Structure 1
Amino acid sequence: MPPRSQPSERHRRLGAELRKLRLSAGLSGDQAAALIDADRGRVSNIEAGRVDVPRNGLHKLLRAYGCPDGPLFDGLMAMAQDRGKGWWDEYRDVMRRPALDLAELESRATHIRNHEPLVIPGILQTAEYARSVCETFDEPDAQLDRYVRFRMDRQRILERQPGTPYHAVIQEGALRTRVGSPEIMRRQLRRLIEIARLPHVTLQVFPFEAGPYSGVSRSFSIFGGPTPALDTVRLEQAVASAILRDEEETSRYGRIFTKLTELALPRVDPEARPESHDGRDSLTLIQHLMYAF
């Protein structure tokens, strides 16, 4: 099979981790190739995510690289065993590689932490809110329909049993920015409260009065792996997304997110009785904005 021209994030991550382990073990590409009866070019392609590594070959490499038994070893073995097939495959004709990678990252994460400063997170959007966002792409209606359907299908991770633990911190500005009609906004805000009823969902609002903080200006998501060493951070940018895999970088964003949760209003708790609210919290702010629209 020829090398892939567009490796998925899962393939790239497995290759990057293998390269890191090989270099840490002090082995050359030729030495690694000898372990799996291959040439150096194949090892290079494996480490770039362009070709698969057989499960038994991966096992040999991990042992030779000194990777101990545990979450990292098991996580890397699972990456190789998983062929990456999922519901997102049916969108390959319309969605670009980064969007497909996002769906796969969400689907395979052990937990997700998400910060959004400008819009409601895609995974929490109603179909009509999502369409209003997608209409800014200036695409044909048929294309927009697929974009919206893709965004709705991403929400499967919250609806399945057990659902993926999900924690979002949303800027107050994102809740106040009108997307579509006032009616669309009211239904979107009501949807946030409904989703927050799920036991595995935590929703907080970062209010204007919290003041400036260095982490509030950028949209990012942290996708938990079977071990923190396999966490992934996805940064949203104007024309593309960036992926961070280095453990020091992913840990830094984990600390930023923790600080955001500390500065944000208390989580939405739809089960709390109105008289139990002794101060401003995320739920009362969202309810207020529903009526403001």
Structure 2
Amino acid sequence: MPPRSQPSERQRRLGAELKKLRLRAGLSGDQAANLIDADRGRVSNIEAGRVDVPRNGLHKLLRAYGCAEGALFEGLMTMAQDRGKGWWDGYRNTMGRPALDLAELEARASGISTHELLVIPGMFQTADYARAVCETADEDDAAAIDRYVCFRLDRQRLLAGEAAAPYHAVIHEGALHTRVGSPQVMRKQLLRLIEVARAPHITVQVFPFEAGAFSAFSRTFAIFGGPTPELDTVRLEQPVTSAVLHDPVHLDRYARLFARLSELALPPIDPDSSPESHEDRDSLSLIQHLMYAL
């Protein structure tokens, strides 16, 4: 089978981790190739995510690279055996590689932490709000908009079920003020935000204006938990595309960044509490205030 031209993010990540381990072990590409009875070109393709490595071959490489059996070892073995199949298969001919990679990242994550500056996170968007976002993005293809909205709503299935992974969102207050669609669309969207926070695995916090500019300097990003911290992934949202980071320095930086954002944000939504119990300002009281003001 010829090398794939568009490896998925999971495939690229597996290759990058193998290369990192090989270099740390001080082995050359030729030495790695000898371990699996291959040539150096195949090792290069494995490390670029363009071809798969058989289970037995991966086991040999990890052992030779000094990767002890444990969470990282098993995590890499699982990544290699994963076929990348999921609900997103139905979109393979209509959505780009970045969108499919996002869906797979979300589905495989042990937990997700996200910081959003300007709009409500896609996981929490209503259909009308999502459509208004797509229309605002200078998209005039009605069929494409329908496709984007359906894809975004399908992603939300991740939040359902008893086995759903923890999801923690820190949303800048500016996103709650930004008018997306009509006042009615915004009102329903804010209500939806309160409703999703009722789930025990979902935490929603608002980063208020008075907390300062710290949130603005951190941009929009998401952290996807891996089977072990070394396999976490950071995804940065950018105007045209997105950037994916998995260097240990970046992982540590964004983990600390999110912890600080959460610390500075208002207390999370607790929909079970009554309005009368809100002696101090919290995320729920702010969202309700904005919702009733529309």
Where on the TM-score scale, by shorter chain, does this alignment land: which range? over 0.9
Q: Given that residues 117 and 171 in structure 1 are in contact (C-alpha distance below 8 angstroms), is that contact kept between their aligned partners in structure 2?
A: yes
Deviation of 1:160 (Å): 2.7
Segments of 5+ residues of structure 2 without an aligned counterpart are none
Deviation of 1:215 (Å): 5.7
Cα deviations across residues 1-24 of structure 1 (Å, max 9, x unaligned)? Answer: 111111100000000000000011
**Helix, strand or coil at the partner of 2:200:** coil
Deviation of 1:274 (Å): 2.2
Segments of 5+ residues of structure 1 without an aligned counterpart are none
Describe how 1:82-161 pairs up with structure 2 within 5 A: 82-136=82-136, 137-161=138-162
Aligned to 1:184: 185
Q: Given that residues 14 and 79 in structure 1 are in contact (C-alpha distance below 8 angstroms), is that contact kept between their aligned partners in structure 2?
A: yes
How far apart are the structure 1 equivalents of 2:140 and 2:156?
Answer: 23
Cα deviations across residues 37-64 of structure 1 (Å, max 9, x unaligned)? Answer: 1110000000000011111111111011
How far apart are the structure 1 equivalents of 2:217 and 2:108?
Answer: 26
Aligned to 1:79: 79
Q: TM-score, normalised by structure 2?
A: 0.97
Aligned to 2:210: 209
**Helix, strand or coil at the partner of 1:235:** strand
How far apart are the structure 2 equivalents of 1:181 and 1:200?
Answer: 30
Q: Given that residues 117 and 216 in structure 1 are in contact (C-alpha distance below 8 angstroms), is that contact kept between their aligned partners in structure 2?
A: no
RMSD between aligned residues = 1.0
How far apart are the structure 1 equivalents of 2:277 and 2:162?
Answer: 31
Deviation of 1:177 (Å): 0.5
Amino acid at match of 1:115: H
**Helix, strand or coil at the partner of 1:168:** strand
**Helix, strand or coil at the partner of 1:51:** coil
Q: Given that residues 113 and 166 in structure 1 are in contact (C-alpha distance below 8 angstroms), is that contact kept between their aligned partners in structure 2?
A: yes
How far apart are the structure 2 equivalents of 1:86 and 1:39?
Answer: 33
- Answering whether residue 284 of structure 2 is matched by residue 283 of structure 1, we say yes
Q: TM-score, normalised by structure 1?
A: 0.98
Amino acid at match of 1:257: F
Deviation of 1:216 (Å): 4.6
Q: Given that residues 117 and 216 in structure 2 are in contact (C-alpha distance below 8 angstroms), is that contact kept between their aligned partners in structure 1?
A: no
Amino acid at match of 2:13: R
Amino acid at match of 1:65: Y
Aligned to 2:234: 233
**Helix, strand or coil at the partner of 1:38:** coil
Q: Given that residues 216 and 260 in structure 1 are in contact (C-alpha distance below 8 angstroms), is that contact kept between their aligned partners in structure 2?
A: no
Aligned to 1:9: 9
- Answering whether residue 256 of structure 2 is matched by residue 255 of structure 1, we say yes
How far apart are the structure 2 equivalents of 1:284 and 1:94?
Answer: 41
Cα deviations across residues 221-252 of structure 1 (Å, max 9, x unaligned)? Answer: 00001111000000011211111111121111
Amino acid at match of 2:47: E
How far apart are the structure 2 equivalents of 1:146 and 1:50?
Answer: 28
**Residues 30-39 or 85-94, more deviating:** 85-94
**Residues 192-201 or 151-160, more deviating:** 151-160
Question: Percent identity, aligned pairs only?
Answer: 73
Cα deviations across residues 77-107 of structure 1 (Å, max 9, x unaligned)? Answer: 0000101011112112221111111111000
Aligned to 1:40: 40
How far apart are the structure 2 equivalents of 1:262 and 1:216?
Answer: 16
Amino acid at match of 1:111: G
How far apart are the structure 2 equivalents of 1:216 and 1:120?
Answer: 18
Deviation of 1:144 (Å): 1.1
**Residues 85-94 or 191-200, more deviating:** 85-94
